Chain A
């Protein structure tokens, strides 16, 4: 079996937002749509995401605690490409599927935009495009086969399948300034994420949901 996944080293992530910005451009994402959000956390409780400007906060990088005993963490969250994806289980149209590489994908031609998957996903990483998307530029940027962003479809991180199918790397992995991100086949013990996780405390976000997420957060 193949299960593509990621490892994200939370010691290394310093909230620079490069992976989130890279995702926006490579996927030609419209205004207000994020597949990948780097949250700021003011605590050490990784059962909830924290705050992000992309999710309505006034500012990122706001710490917790009392000066100078503060807490400031970062938590990059995108689709977890779960082994047991609740979104796929509930999708009434069959648009959400799990592909041969373990990627949870959405077929935009089949998707009816009912939003059932959004309700089912515990990670809040799916977005319904409920009106004509607005773009920052007239020009379509990023990859030519970026997702179409059509009304009444749901979108989320595609693992940049378009890129990896031509032997390139997911946009968020192309260059992480903190060298915090790894991707590969989690079923292969020698893959980059598994090697990075060796000897580390591994956190799987909301593992209690039974989704078997494919992102390993390294503490």
Chain B
């Protein structure tokens, strides 16, 4: 390089240091690389003052599901920087504002530094410092006492999603926190979040948490990419470049969203839709597809249950109904008995008779004659009946989407494929949540836009392989006795009643204490007053956390937990990273903190179950990995420890439901379910007709035409933030330079009506509670829809709490918190 003419006079300190750094050798060490760099102590590079920066591998692993593989830079034993680390496929390299801020999380002033015992009222945060021995003694005394008097189920765990690793996590699949619960036999207070999608997806595809969209590297193969109820630009930023690159290469990007947002700004076509009416919109699209004869009959016949025959009693016709004796299949591992093979029967137009599903040459879809005197209809006919209930003009009334737009969207699905329908939890957080998804995914199924490159529908959940869940979650002791398993499964919205009545679903129960881990439920759960009520009422609260959250302030005993990088662990998730990631311990646990795993070890030992946790972290990781499907892709312990990141995809690119093969009993996607099983049982009655097949009804409060909107005229959408995952990162000051604090965003006309200008204090209120926040005018919102970033702590609000206004009511069959199904009135405060 040539010298610039404006050479500085003399050798500046900065260039001197550069010079020293430039000659330092780059060395590779076991466990990381390091580069030499002269020290800058006192502003002068000191002779012999070489400071090295060691690099460790790790994973950022909150419940954004991004799963970022990081280089953790450690200098003088301190984490000073985090950067994106190369993954085997660098397209997946990733980091965001949050992953970059780990030095600030690690050294947060809010770290819980030592065990504490509450001395003030619950919630006031007044504690005294105690030793680990004192903390454990007190926990064990209470826990054993309750167990002796009321049984092990009188203690409960409340496991959140604050850490998607298997040792430190409690919710990730095969997590140590889950094992601990099964070992000590305590009850579980349910998490009940995101289950509208889970339920719908299970009904449609047969998959539960592990069902997925195609991997993001496949997005470029889509001719059309429909972002339907998802906000990748904020909620899943690492997915965004795959979408934008596809768009640059010619993929049409369509966004269906009630509000205009960053995704809409990037889209080729934004379709505004009334809140949580997406299921009705999908019905309209289906209506147009059938009206035009655009349905993909080949796909429907071969890969869906469309030809399946429903008897008058609601059950599906099987060959045994036609006198064909069921045969014995393989031994069922759980029962030890042979399985029964009784194939579904369908009508074959070629042979003009009913045959076992695999034997039909031309499966009939409609107008099936009586078979052996049995009247039947097909799932296809039922689907058409339901679709006929949604003429386009009616759909327009519900959704606000013009007829011409519905028709064009139908045409796109039929003629501009392959289409990827990227649907996340945008439609989940409403009481009608799961009713939205079945019609949406039916659009993909009816047009054959599933199971091939560029064509997919569903949530981004790249966890196609099964780890050793039996070995991790249901351990057996040295004498062959299995762990006792968890106690009672409580729903999150039942605890106040349980404590008031000492009954649960009519049965006497005693719930005395709760061990809260990885959760800040006071900030993140709906209907906060109810949560506060039971947190004040329950006898004993243990909180394990790394920072003083508003929930931690309710602890009787507060245990200091390490930050993620102070432990050895293994990241796994259901998100958009197709890799298992190894967490190296980058620094020693700070202060007196211990790892979650260590706490489980100590507690299980003292409670008399030590054998189940008598292993090292690495032993547990080995156990977790000990499954045939992980071995088949080479995801072994040794490889992970060596390479730090190992793909868990069976093939690349990963195509979900490849070749139209689904996870249902029939291997086909469903338009009907024989048996309705509610996700929860609180003794509720339910209308089965709503659950058997595609169905839609409006949201409870957020629907524009909901009766409550006469009283409380605004719906409130709670937004993810770019700088927090749920309530995590609240203690990072740097991030307030990007997102300041609680805000209510309001459409300009609405603001004018109330005389609200930027920065005004505004109260949002309904019968459940209220919150006061600063207002900001947001022209991207439709009238009568407010939007608020969620994730704040009690002390950050001017008054009240955002979680006060939401409802904890469930859908009739789906145990799911409906964070966005909320109506409020507003006033200037």
A122 contacts chain B at the CB level, 8 A cutoff: no
User: Quick one: given A16-B97, A162-B17, are A139 and B53 in contact (CB under 8 Å)?
Assistant: no
Bound Cα distance A68, B81 (Å): 41
Bound Cα distance A168, B188 (Å): 48
Interface centre among B81, B101, B266, B747 (most CB of A within 10 A): B81
B743 contacts chain A at the CB level, 8 A cutoff: yes
Stretch at the interface among B359-367, B607-615, B640-648, B730-738: B730-738
Q: Mark B762-804, 1 if CB is under 8 A from A, else 0.
A: 0000000000001011111111000000000000000000000
A203 contacts chain B at the CB level, 8 A cutoff: no
Among A33-80, those with CB < 8 Å from B are 34, 42, 53-54, 58-68, 70-73
Q: Mark B256-275, 1 if CB is under 8 A from A, else 0.
A: 00011110111000101000
Among A62-101, those with CB < 8 Å from B are 62-68, 70-73, 88, 94, 97-101
Contact between B43 and A62, CB atoms less than 8 A apart: no
Bound Cα distance A139, B84 (Å): 21
Interface centre among A31, A73, A145 (most CB of B within 10 A): A145
B496 contacts chain A at the CB level, 8 A cutoff: no
User: Quick one: given A24-B737, A32-B737, are A67 and B747 in contact (CB under 8 Å)?
Assistant: yes
Q: How many residues of A contact B (CB 8 A)?
A: 69
User: Quick one: given A63-B260, A70-B264, are A139 and B78 in contact (CB under 8 Å)?
Assistant: yes
Stretch at the interface among A112-120, A170-178, A209-217: A170-178
Bound Cα distance A63, B746 (Å): 12
Bound Cα distance A16, B240 (Å): 10
Stretch at the interface among B241-249, B298-306, B468-476, B686-694: B241-249
User: Quick one: given A17-B738, A54-B737, A141-B103, are A67 and B782 in contact (CB under 8 Å)?
Assistant: yes
Return the contact of B101 from the options A15, A21, A162, A179 (Cβ within 8 A). Answer: A21
User: Quick one: given A97-B6, A100-B2, are A58 and B759 in contact (CB under 8 Å)?
Assistant: yes
Contact between A59 and B37, CB atoms less than 8 A apart: no
Q: Which residues of chain A have C-beta atoms less than 8 A from B17's C-beta?
A: 145, 162
Contact between B265 and A70, CB atoms less than 8 A apart: yes
Return the contact of B97 from the options A18, A107, A166, A178 (Cβ within 8 A). Answer: A18
Q: Which residues of chain B have C-beta atoms less than 8 A from A67's C-beta?
A: 259-260, 272, 747, 779-783
Q: Which residues of chain B have C-beta atoms less than 8 A from A6's C-beta?
A: none
B51 contacts chain A at the CB level, 8 A cutoff: yes
Q: How many inter-chain contacts with C-beta < 8 Å in the A-B complex?
A: 226
User: How big is the B interface, by class?
Assistant: 35 or more
A173, chain B: closest CB distance, angstroms: 11
B154, chain A: closest CB distance, angstroms: 43
Among A145-196, those with CB < 8 Å from B are 145, 147-148, 161-162, 165-166, 174-175, 177-179
B238 contacts chain A at the CB level, 8 A cutoff: yes
- Cβ-closest chain B residue relative to A54: B737
- Cβ-closest chain B residue relative to A158: B14
B743, chain A: closest CB distance, angstroms: 6
Contact between B14 and A166, CB atoms less than 8 A apart: no
User: Quick one: given A16-B96, A68-B272, A145-B21, are A177 and B240 in contact (CB under 8 Å)?
Assistant: yes
Contact between A59 and B745, CB atoms less than 8 A apart: yes
Contact between A142 and B782, CB atoms less than 8 A apart: no
B96, chain A: closest CB distance, angstroms: 5
Contact between A14 and B262, CB atoms less than 8 A apart: yes
Bound Cα distance A52, B734 (Å): 14
- Cβ-closest chain B residue relative to A59: B776
Return the contact of B12 from the options A42, A61, A64, A109 (Cβ within 8 A). Answer: A109
A81, chain B: closest CB distance, angstroms: 12
B312 contacts chain A at the CB level, 8 A cutoff: no
Q: Which residues of chain B have C-beta atoms less than 8 A from A102's C-beta?
A: 4
Contact between B18 and A99, CB atoms less than 8 A apart: no
Contact between A14 and B266, CB atoms less than 8 A apart: yes
B104 contacts chain A at the CB level, 8 A cutoff: yes
A150, chain B: closest CB distance, angstroms: 9
Bound Cα distance A203, B99 (Å): 31
Contact between B35 and A25, CB atoms less than 8 A apart: no
- Cβ-closest chain A residue relative to B741: A58
Contact between B733 and A31, CB atoms less than 8 A apart: yes
Q: Which residues of chain A have C-beta atoms less than 8 A from B631's C-beta?
A: none
Return the contact of B2 from the options A2, A14, A177 (Cβ within 8 A). Answer: A2
Among B224-260, those with CB < 8 Å from A are 233-234, 237-238, 240-241, 244-245, 248, 259-260
A172, chain B: closest CB distance, angstroms: 11
Contact between B780 and A70, CB atoms less than 8 A apart: yes
Return the contact of B265 from the options A63, A66, A147 (Cβ within 8 A). Answer: A63
User: Quick one: given A67-B782, A97-B6, are A34 and B737 in contact (CB under 8 Å)?
Assistant: yes
Bound Cα distance A81, B770 (Å): 50
Q: Which residues of chain A have C-beta atoms less than 8 A from B758's C-beta?
A: 58
B335 contacts chain A at the CB level, 8 A cutoff: no
B291 contacts chain A at the CB level, 8 A cutoff: no
Contact between B740 and A59, CB atoms less than 8 A apart: yes
Among B67-83, those with CB < 8 Å from A are 75, 78, 80-83
Contact between B18 and A145, CB atoms less than 8 A apart: yes
- Cβ-closest chain A residue relative to B78: A139
Contact between A60 and B738, CB atoms less than 8 A apart: yes
- Cβ-closest chain B residue relative to A140: B80
Q: Which residues of chain B have C-beta atoms less than 8 A from A7's C-beta?
A: none
Among B417-457, those with CB < 8 Å from A are none
Return the contact of A88 from the options B6, B21, B35, B101 (Cβ within 8 A). Answer: B6
Contact between A177 and B18, CB atoms less than 8 A apart: no
Q: Which residues of chain A have C-beta atoms less than 8 A from B81's C-beta?
A: 25-26, 141-143
Contact between B779 and A42, CB atoms less than 8 A apart: yes
B822, chain A: closest CB distance, angstroms: 20
Q: Which residues of chain A have C-beta atoms less than 8 A from B3's C-beta?
A: 100
Q: Which residues of chain A have C-beta atoms less than 8 A from B378's C-beta?
A: none
Contact between A21 and B738, CB atoms less than 8 A apart: yes
Give the 8 A-B residue pairs with the shortest CB-CB distance, closest first.
A175-B84, A63-B780, A136-B733, A72-B265, A70-B260, A21-B97, A97-B6, A179-B241
Extra contacts, 10 of them, besides A58-B740, A142-B80, A175-B94 (Cβ < 8 A), are A22-B95, A25-B100, A63-B779, A68-B270, A97-B6, A99-B4, A108-B12, A108-B14, A162-B14, A175-B84
Query: Mind listing 16 A-B residue pairs with CB under 8 Å?
Result: A16-B237, A18-B237, A25-B100, A32-B737, A59-B776, A60-B738, A63-B778, A68-B260, A68-B782, A72-B265, A101-B1, A110-B9, A162-B14, A162-B21, A178-B237, A179-B245
